[in-house]
Chains A and B, each alone.
Chain A
Amino acid sequence: MAKNIKISRGVDIKLVGKAEQKLDAIDSATIAIKPTDFHGLIPKLEVKQGDEVKAGSPLFYDKNNNNIKFVSPVSGEVAEVVRGAKRRILEVRVLADKETKFETYDVSGVASLDGRGMAELLQKSGQWSFIKQRPFDVVANPNNKPKSIFVSAFDSSPLAPDYNYILKEKGAELQAGIDALAKLTDGAVNVVTRGDKGVFGNLKNCTIHSIAGPHPVGNVGVQIHHIDTLNKGETIWSVNPQDLAAIGSFLKTGKVQSKRVVALTGAEVKSPQYFEVTLGASTEKLVLGKVNEGARIISGNVLTGDKLENSGYLGYYHHQVTAIREDHEPAFMGWLAPGLDNLSLSRTFFSWLMPNKKYNLGTAIHGEERAFVMTGEYEQVFPFDIYPVQLLKSILVNDIEQMENLGIYEVAPEDFALCEFGCTSKINSQEIVRNGLDLIQKELS
């Protein structure tokens, strides 16, 4: 049943540098798939340096589930396998051909495939990697039967790309993707929209919900909590809409669709706009000349994204690149200054006088880590029926039973991003939540 939900807790952080609706294409010479983007994955390589691969050929697979392949988005030569400490694989880099050669998969009988057949097809073609699961916020485990599947049709995070704009001509692909997801679950495929339903309004074979409110309303975790709450022992899957369209496109053509539209945003970008790039593309060309020197480049949004070094590669699940000011300047008597340029969820800075101001925030922490002192602060931006501070504390003392009791299965690190942003004591709650989930996953396996 379609639901109409309104949440009130949360906050939309207004930043300078929203992407203008203008699209250009950028070709990158190299792309990289980073196993580190798939949390908890132990990759097993199928290629070595110098191998020729096609777009859609596997690069590596999941050690715990050999059928889940991770494929190359482009054709070309495996340029390098970058390893870190303990020979952990950090990046598999591929040097792209001028003309992309595709590995073709047989998709003639897709319509008649059952759930198992569909899952196998998606796994061997690398498309499975776009399906994530709750709890744990990792690539879905095909052995579980999800009670429902969620697609959040919008992103509410700061400066987020507008999927209605990006996908406005992808109705057919989205529909194909939805039809595939519907085979994978006995429950509903829930598409959650906010405001203008756009291209998502016409989708069939799914339940379209409306949700209203401030960020983190776009997080699937919040949507799941309010529409089909996750209990211990259950799983729910989710797919990003742009990835869903790619899955749909693959199912229609048999070729992997590796083009993604990303929003280049942030105060340090000269003219923020959308770019069509390849999955895992090098951000070198994307940034060169378009972003001010010395800025912090983030793959993803400012709350949950990953910091990229000079020429990093776009994160697998990221549809946004943000550039903001690096801020290392000590602030003289910062605790007393009026702070017109400081955004705060409290009203201790006079910036509350300007509710519609767009901020140019830097990377400063504005303080030092302290013990939990303030209370009720996280609850303001945490639209779950969960006690966030108590959950964090149970994680800090490794009390698994209490974590379960307090609802750790319902959350992912990204759901705590706003708590982390607004924390007076500067506690890194996303990291704590991730540690808790890791601990439980380890205990369960």
Chain B
Amino acid sequence: MKFIKNIFDSVRPNFEKGGKLEKYWPVLDGFETLMFVPGHATSKGSHIRDGIDLKRTMVTVILALLPCLLFGMYNTGYQHFVAVGQEATFMEMFLYGALKVLPIVIVSYGVGLGIEFLFCIKNGHSIQEGFLVSGMLIPLIMPVEVPLWMVAVATAFAVVFGKEVFGGTGMNILNPALTARAFLFFAYPTKMSGNSVWVSTDGIQTVDGFTGATALGNAVEQGMAGIPPYMDAIIGTIPGSIGETSVLACILGAILLIYSGIGSWRVMLSMLIGGYVMGMLFNAWGANSYMEIPAHHQLMLGGFFFGMVFMATDPVSASQTNTGKWIYGFFCGLLGIMIRVFNPAYPEGIMMAILFMNVMAPMIDHYVIQGNINKRLKRVKAVA
């Protein structure tokens, strides 16, 4: 500890005003504050402060994402060995998946943090922590066969146009991770949908009957007959984006987020309700076989849970008022299922729904707050 501190102390003069590397102060500051929470004492306002800071918040979210990441690694291997019809042990599957997934994670963090640093150096700001979570979310919503350069391009797009153009962490309108995915979805549709990207086969001949399609892809064509059994969908041993398949892993993350107070249970619950209501409506309608998938089964498929727990709850792009969160979450769920069923070209309706509601969130908040304002104005009138 002391030793690390000494290193920082010895290089700091170079980065301070007048030093050779003055411009790169944010880089040093970023690393130093990552190693040591700075020993600043309060000088105004409350003399004592909560132990939490943005770094801790972000690290908690990353911890909540770990079950999804680890399961995603395992599932990547599992899907591979099932597809090529080979026997493999748990460790083999996990290692195979880890080797596939880790490069994506590294590229995402490397590119994203690199760009953040560049912006901070240019603006002379200290590094903000927002990307710590985005950098983990992006790999988890990619198909495993996505080329690394696409991850890099998408991450760059998300950081620059999803976040930095609005002013950086805390200022963005859209969820950066979903922006990355939406960018790829529209720019390189062949690599983001279809049957060939979800399972890594390494070019090995696949077994008979293997399609590689996701549950939602199958559902469009075959309805109930095409989707995996309920328990498989909950555990997550189905093809899909790396981290999204396991409902169980998402629930583990949700428990940590809700218990620690970081993720909004209001958004999660209302989104669940919204999705369920839409599913029930479709069940009642039953115009095609897709609509007949039971609502509770429908919700277990695709990225619904992952989106609900980790994407819709992003505090910056979600509604900020508590009432607004209920409305926002409800429509995320409702629209997500609606888009998914109505438009087979967008099997991942959740992404669209959340991005759309991100745009709507400020308006929801506006009306919620206007309600509060009107109440106050009415009281003044009543007095006058």
Contacts and interface: CB of A to CB of B under 8 A. Distances in A.
A374 B57 contact: yes
A397 interface: no
A231 B383 contact: yes
A329 interface: yes
Interface in B33-68: 33-57, 59-60
21 contacts: A233-B383, A233-B384, A330-B36, A332-B36, A335-B56, A348-B60, A349-B51, A364-B49, A366-B37, A366-B52, A367-B38, A367-B52, A368-B53, A370-B170, A373-B57, A373-B315, A375-B264, A376-B266, A421-B50, A424-B53, A426-B49
Interface in B326-384: 365, 369, 372-373, 375-377, 379-380, 383-384
Interface string A392-421: 000000000000011100000000010011
Contacts of B264: 375-376
B203 interface: no
B236 interface: no
Contacts of B130: 373
Interface in B313-329: 315-316, 318-322, 325
Contact of B49 (A307, A331, A365): A365
Q: Which of B4, B168, B262, B319 has the most CB of A within 10 A?
A: B262
A342 interface: yes
B48 A229 contact: no
A387 B372 contact: yes
A346 B375 CA distance: 31
Interface stretch (A24-32, A62-70, A96-104, A427-435): A427-435
A93 to B, nearest CB: 25
B48 A303 contact: yes
B51 A344 contact: yes
Interface string B177-197: 000000000000000000000
A336 interface: yes
A interface SS class: loop
A220 interface: no
A389 interface: yes
Contacts of A407: 372, 376
A158 to B, nearest CB: 8
A345 B46 CA distance: 15
A233 B380 CA distance: 9
Contacts of B50: 342-346, 366, 421-424
Nearest to B168: A371
Interface in A346-365: 346-349, 351, 361-365
Interface size bracket, B side: 35 or more
B321 A372 contact: no
Given A347-B260, A348-B262, A417 B55 contact: no
Nearest to A364: B41
Contact of A375 (B52, B59, B318, B377): B318
Contacts of A298: 47
B51 A374 contact: no
A365 B41 contact: yes
B42 A363 contact: yes
A402 to B, nearest CB: 8
Interface string B143-173: 0000000000000000000000001111100
Contacts of A351: 51
B383 A234 contact: yes
B interface SS class: loop
For the complex of A and B, list the 4 residue pairs with the smallest distance between their C-beta atoms, beginning with the closest: A367-B53, A342-B51, A371-B170, A334-B37
Contacts of B170: 370-373, 425
Interface residues of A, number: 74
Nearest to B126: A368
A232 interface: yes
A131 to B, nearest CB: 22
Interface string B256-293: 00011110101000000000000000000000000000
B259 A347 contact: yes
A348 B260 CA distance: 5
Q: Which of B38, B56, B379 has the most CB of A within 10 A?
A: B56
B122 interface: no
Given A348-B57, A375-B318, A302 B48 contact: yes
B5 interface: yes
Nearest to B368: A387
A125 B369 CA distance: 46
A226 B364 CA distance: 27
Contact of A406 (B260, B322, B373): B373
B128 interface: yes
A287 to B, nearest CB: 16
Contacts of B369: 387, 390, 406
A302 B46 contact: yes
Contacts of B380: 231-233
A347 B128 CA distance: 22
A347 B372 CA distance: 30
A324 B47 contact: yes
Contacts of A421: 46, 48-50
Contacts of A367: 37-38, 49, 52-56
B1 interface: yes
A347 B37 contact: no
A330 B170 CA distance: 25
Contacts of B169: 370-371, 373
Contacts of B365: 390
Given A333-B35, A342-B51, A375-B264, A386 B128 contact: no
A304 interface: yes
Contacts of A363: 41-42, 47-48
A346 B320 contact: no
